[in-house]
Structure 1
């Protein structure tokens, strides 16, 4: 079976390219029935409100929630992280629909506007232990979210230091004054919970494929290229979809 990449908007092509580098075939997903033919799914970065509106238009949310609950691996990057979160703050008026499943509170636009995007070296000991390579990873944050709170079943894979005042201000919608006073000086930017992986940054925009390899190791059993070819052929026969 192939690996699906939600292709409504955002950096889905970059994820498919990264998968190809690992010898894995990724297929674009735009319709609910296409999810039945993939064994894992990547929800890419992009503009989360736009992606949510398109997902609602194509009636994808019920199928996405079923896919998450099925236990198949799902990885959300940036906007994809927001999609997977159970709770979100910092959203536009009226909010946006979430897929859910990841026991965390995410701030939709924690790091600011597009012009405040940045790159930084992140400490990733678990990634280095599992996939080799250096103990750091170059994180690309583009109008990025951050995880403010994570449940007990969530494994933190990377965090990023920020002024405690910033954490307090952005968490104010969900935390009491006492809880704000106890805020730490780091926010979480990569997590794993069961079949779910989420990163606030964009690994697909780097030449380092270790996060994609890490995700592929969450897939139960090898990805068969022959089956992937059949899946791509099936999807190609579908009716015209959103471009």
Structure 2
């Protein structure tokens, strides 16, 4: 059975775990290096990216996680997880570190504050179908390298369309929260990356 970890340091761990379990995978809450070592894929949930960064370092998970990602561990980051997977940040907190798994620049809180949270209909570019996205203090992709595939875009408060779901290799990132909808396509995409 496929073992999918959910980084359980902070954020909406339970919702991702329930979604992954509903797709038939074995779910592991990841707080220790030993839990990280046995995974087939990993989810980095939404939450607060600066807190996640600090806790990754405090729990000595940062370097082992970087090594697993470099070895091709399939990973999905949603909202704060997107920020964590970025190479570069706009509006990051001083000293904030990312994992650099996707060569993109992400703008933190691009869609506004908590009170600006919204639900948006997106186009899922893989098949042109509609997808519902919930944005909570969400980032967007400001720029990305040419080998980053845009999976979905949304119109931001600036009136411009911005990438809000991307994939590069075995790394997927969404600005929205796919775990709080009944739509399983994002998590299915992650499971499809497992050998």
**Which one has a bigger Cα radius of gyration?**
1
Tell me the TM-score normalized by structure 2.
0.95
| In 2, Cα distance between equivalents of 1:201 and 1:120 | 9
SS of 1:38 mapped into structure 2: coil
| In 1, Cα distance between equivalents of 2:178 and 2:72 | 23
SS of 1:53 mapped into structure 2: helix
| Residue in 2 that maps onto 1:223 | none
Check whether the contact 1:148–1:187 (CA below 8 A) recurs between aligned residues. Answer: yes
CA RMSD for the aligned pairs? 1.4
1:1-243 aligned within 5 A: 1-92=2-93, 94-126=94-126, 128=127, 135-162=129-156, 166=158, 185-220=160-195
| In 1, Cα distance between equivalents of 2:24 and 2:74 | 18
Q: State how many pairs are aligned.
A: 194
Cα offset for 1:49?
Answer: 1.2
Cα offset for 1:53?
Answer: 1.4
| In 1, Cα distance between equivalents of 2:190 and 2:12 | 17
Query: CA offsets, 1:93-130, max 9 Å, x none?
Result: x141111120100001111110111001000030x47x
| In 1, Cα distance between equivalents of 2:132 and 2:41 | 25
SS of 2:112 mapped into structure 1: coil
Tell me the TM-score normalized by structure 1.
0.77
| In 2, Cα distance between equivalents of 1:42 and 1:207 | 17
SS of 1:106 mapped into structure 2: strand
Query: CA offsets, 1:22-47, max 9 Å, x none?
Result: 11111100012221111111100001
| Residue in 2 that maps onto 1:182 | none
Greater CA drift, 141-150 or 29-38:
29-38
Query: CA offsets, 1:188-222, max 9 Å, x none?
Result: 100000010000000001111121111111111xx
The answer to which structure has the higher strand fraction is: 2
Check whether the contact 1:16–1:25 (CA below 8 A) recurs between aligned residues. Answer: no
Query: Greater RCO between the two (CA within 8 Å, min separation 6)?
Result: 1
| In 2, Cα distance between equivalents of 1:61 and 1:99 | 8
The structure 1 segments of at least 4 consecutive aligned residues displaced by more than 3 Å after TM superposition are none
The answer to which structure has the higher helix fraction is: 1
| In 2, Cα distance between equivalents of 1:89 and 1:19 | 31
Cα offset for 1:64?
Answer: 1.3
